[in-house]
Chain A
Amino acid sequence: AQSVTQLDSQVPVFEEAPVELRCNYSSSVSVYLFWYVQYPNQGLQLLLKYLSGSTLVKGINGFEAEFNKSQTSFHLRKPSVHISDTAEYFCAVSRSGGSNYKLTFGKGTLLTVNP
């Protein structure tokens, strides 16, 4: 089984500041990794994903994340945030190969961008 730990439940930052949202996972098998964003009263939208290849992945809205297998981490970063980035961010993992159609989610990190 897989598990995901999002180390910060809330991250307040000022507009135009850089941000890092932390995600660590645990799994006995290889995994795929995902970051989703959820705006208030909306569904989840995929920001980016790591499936294979380059460990640095770029996503929508200027976000990127780096897969670190030795540290079992997949931290999300943005060099300069906007007010509109205020949302809940979920890290998720699925096993690679086999029946991998189920996701395990972290508890989420609420990013609040202040003016």
Chain B
Amino acid sequence: DAMVIQNPRYQVTQFGKPVTLSCSQTLNHNVMYWYQQKSSQAPKLLFHYYDKDFNNEADTPDNFQSRRPNTSFCFLDIRSPGLGDAAMYLCATSALGPSGAYEQYFGPGTRLTVT
């Protein structure tokens, strides 16, 4: 089945220690997104790639970076995690459908704990 895969599902890192979260997709979608979701809140878009073009949200901290080496893979790098960065990180993908809409497909998420 075509899908969005996130690894690992659970990640524990230390305060200030860089961490990388991974996302891969078999949908061949050209748009990939990273969201941060804190407890009982809606997902918050951090950035997205439209093909190779990187688009950062205005309020995304500089501590968060991303790489997309090819269509299938996208990485989220947190350079110096703080306690406030503990959250669920969701990867999503989309492509233009026949109706003209971009329908987003989400991965299962990575739960990040910062100790």
Which listed segment binds A: B13-21, B64-72, B78-86, B93-101?
B93-101
Given the interface pairs A97-B100, A108-B40, the reply to whether A42 lies near B105 with Cβ below 8 Å is: no
Given the interface pairs A101-B48, A106-B42, A107-B41, the reply to whether A44 lies near B106 with Cβ below 8 Å is: yes
On whether the beta carbons of A42 and B109 are closer than 8 Å, the reply is yes
Which listed segment binds B: A14-22, A45-53, A58-66, A72-80?
A45-53
On whether the beta carbons of A42 and B108 are closer than 8 Å, the reply is yes
Q: Does B54 contact A (CB under 8 A)?
A: no
On whether the beta carbons of A51 and B50 are closer than 8 Å, the reply is no
On whether the beta carbons of A41 and B101 are closer than 8 Å, the reply is no
On whether the beta carbons of A96 and B101 are closer than 8 Å, the reply is yes
> Considering the chains assembled together, what is the distance between the CA atoms of A41 and B10 in angstroms?
10
Contacts of A66-115 to chain B: CB distance below 8 A: 88, 90, 94, 96-97, 100-103, 105-108, 110
Select which of B42, B45, B101, B108 is within 8 A of A32 by beta carbon: B101
Select which of B4, B50, B99 is within 8 A of A101 by beta carbon: B50
> Considering the chains assembled together, what is the distance between the CA atoms of A49 and B94 in angstroms?
14
Select which of B100, B103, B107 is within 8 A of A46 by beta carbon: B103
Write the nearest CB–CB distance from A52 to chain B, whole angstroms.
Answer: 7
On whether the beta carbons of B42 and A43 are closer than 8 Å, the reply is no
Given the interface pairs A44-B90, A51-B101, A97-B100, the reply to whether A105 lies near B43 with Cβ below 8 Å is: yes
Contact with A along B1-13 (1 / 0, CB 8 A): 0001010000000
On whether the beta carbons of A103 and B104 are closer than 8 Å, the reply is yes
Select which of A32, A43, A51, A106 is within 8 A of B106 by beta carbon: A43
**9 pairs from A and B in contact (CB 8 Å cutoff):** A32-B101, A41-B88, A43-B90, A44-B43, A46-B105, A49-B101, A49-B103, A102-B48, A103-B104
Residues on A facing B (Cβ under 8 Å): 32, 34, 36, 41-46, 49, 51-52, 88, 90, 94, 96-97, 100-103, 105-108, 110
